[in-house]
Amino acid sequence: METRIEILSPEKIDDELLNQIRVWADEVLKKVELKSQPPYLCITVWKTMEKFRTFSMREKEMLGVVTGEETDFLATHDAWRGYPRIHVCQERLKGIPSAILQGVIHHEIGHALKHGSLEFYTFRFSGILQEVGRASGLDLPLLQQCVYLFSIAIKDQEVVKWLSQIGLSFNQIALLNHLISDTEEEKTTWEFIQDSPALRKIAFSTFLKTLLPIEAMIAIGIEDAKTLKDQWNEAYGWLFEKEREGLSLFSQFIMNLEGKTFQERLEQAVLRLITDPYL
């Protein structure tokens, strides 16, 4: 069954943008067998960040969702209501080059196809995970934050790898290059928290959001991925070399967990991060 895409716009949005989003979405869907497509996909295009944030807060309260502030991303995805949804904000995307916007939509459609069920947005906190977390200074709220951020990194790695395998790596490289072009905010945060063992783990989970996809592209031989890795190392040059090398080695460990379910991979990855003496 071909996916029925519904594009909603609670406020007046330029028809040109709405049409372009559908074109970019179809560029991904046409490469996927019909049996692998979800029956329904909802894309909501917001005009202002204020309206988007208000909706997001209300939706989380209604559904009991406890996660970070996703509206800071270029676009977001979820399956909180049992089907894949994508949210895009016209104001947030203002001034972003077309090639990067195309990469954003491809990326979010990839999530809808690969992570379009509630399984990928609900997290288990086993007894051993909580025990190891407490021993490392991660109480339950901090552990929840770490797991949530890590889930983003793993899902992004899976999507970027898959898009690269079906011939859509070019715009993912452009998107990743954009994401690592300014790490000043992360650097400032790092300077405040780097001496806290628990907060370091959470920060590393954030840094992996871009590094894991890059390492995945290198592993499958995508042209220009090694150059992008060099750019990542330069962008995060304020980390010690041993920390950057540790994250790279840790990424290799994560990619070797592909035979497990998402929840199993996520728990194993967080356990390894928490106990890794080099991070």
**Res 234 pLDDT > 80:** yes
- Concatenating the DSSP letter of every residue in 20-49 gives HHHHHHHHHHTTS-GGGS-SEEEEEEES-H
List, as one string, the DSSP characters of 202-233.
Answer: HHHHHHHHHHHHHHHHHHTT-TTHHHHHHHHH
Per-residue confidence (pLDDT) for residue 116, from 0 to 100: 87
Q: If you average pLDDT over residues 227-249, what whole number do you get?
A: 96
Range name among 70-79, 93-102, 219-228 with the lowest pLDDT average: 70-79
User: Which candidate, 17, 31, 196, 14, places its Cα nearest to that of 106?
Assistant: 31
pLDDT at residue 96 in the model: 93
Query: Cα 217 to chain center, whole Å?
Result: 15
Task: Classify strands 85-89 and 40-46 as parallel, antiparallel or unpaired.
Answer: parallel
Query: What does the pLDDT look like over 33-79, one tens digit per residue?
Result: 756 677 889 999 999 999 989 888 888 888 777 666 665 788 999 88
Q: Could you tell me which of 227, 259, 237 has the C-alpha nearest to residue 184? A: 237
Instruction: Kindly give, in sequence order, each residue whose CB lies less than 8 Å from that of residue 8, ignoring residues fewer than 6 positions away.
Output: 42, 43, 44, 45
What pLDDT score does 259 carry? 62
Closest Cα partner for 90 from 57, 58, 43?
43
100-149 residue pLDDT tens: 999 999 999 999 999 988 888 888 889 999 999 999 999 999 999 999 99
- Sequence letter at residue 212: L
Is the Cβ–Cβ distance between 5 and 41 less than 8 Å?
A: yes
